[in-house]
Amino acid sequence: MTDWKDKVENMVYSGRIKVPYLWNVGKTGSRFLIAIRDNKEIWGTRCPGCGRVYVPPVKTCGECFVPTTEWVKVSDTGVLESFTVVHYSYEMQPRKAPLAYGLIKLDGADGAILHLIGDTDFAKLKTGMKVKAVFAEERVGSIADIKHFTPA
């Protein structure tokens, strides 16, 4: 017996498709973004099983698979664990090149958050350096309400 997929021709469309969409971050993501927007505070969720603090917050621990119902305020400072500097512009980037992205492990969190690095000479970036969040003047309830992180 032959599989129906054997009779299907694979088709590939090469091109660029722009599809506008809306994305709902749910209760957990909304609480996280509202705290940034309204209070310039960064919150995560703690797993009652292993104690891991997730930033951005999650509803369920990825290690223990139990609900993470405890909210924990973390610092707006942290350590730059890794980074990359982008030297070309692309329409989907939030800013014109050059720009830098960094993985920041916030003080009080167990994982890292990916965000922009700014207000610095990119040649002076080093893994392990302390960084601090710079909040946007006008905040609207998105992760871009943290304008970028800068050396502390």
pTM of the model: 0.85
**Is residue 74, in this structure, part of any structural domain at all?**
yes
Q: Which residues contact 145 (CB under 8 A, 6 or more apart)?
A: 33, 36, 37, 135, 136, 139
**Is residue 6, in this structure, part of any structural domain at all?**
no
**Is residue 117, in this structure, part of any structural domain at all?**
yes
**Is residue 89, in this structure, part of any structural domain at all?**
yes
Q: Quick one: which of 93, 100, 94, 110 has its CA closest to 151?
A: 100
Per the structure, the complete domain to which residue 110 belongs is given by: 24-151
Instruction: List the structure tokens of 56.
Output: 């951005």
**Is residue 1, in this structure, part of any structural domain at all?**
no
**Is residue 45, in this structure, part of any structural domain at all?**
yes
pLDDT digits (tens, 9 = 90+) for 20-76: 777 789 999 999 999 999 999 999 999 999 999 999 999 999 999 999 999 999 999
**Is residue 129, in this structure, part of any structural domain at all?**
yes
Q: What is the total count of domains within the chain?
A: 1
Residues paired with residue 147 on neighbouring β-strands, in sequence order: none
**Is residue 15, in this structure, part of any structural domain at all?**
no
Is the pLDDT confidence value at 1 over 70? no
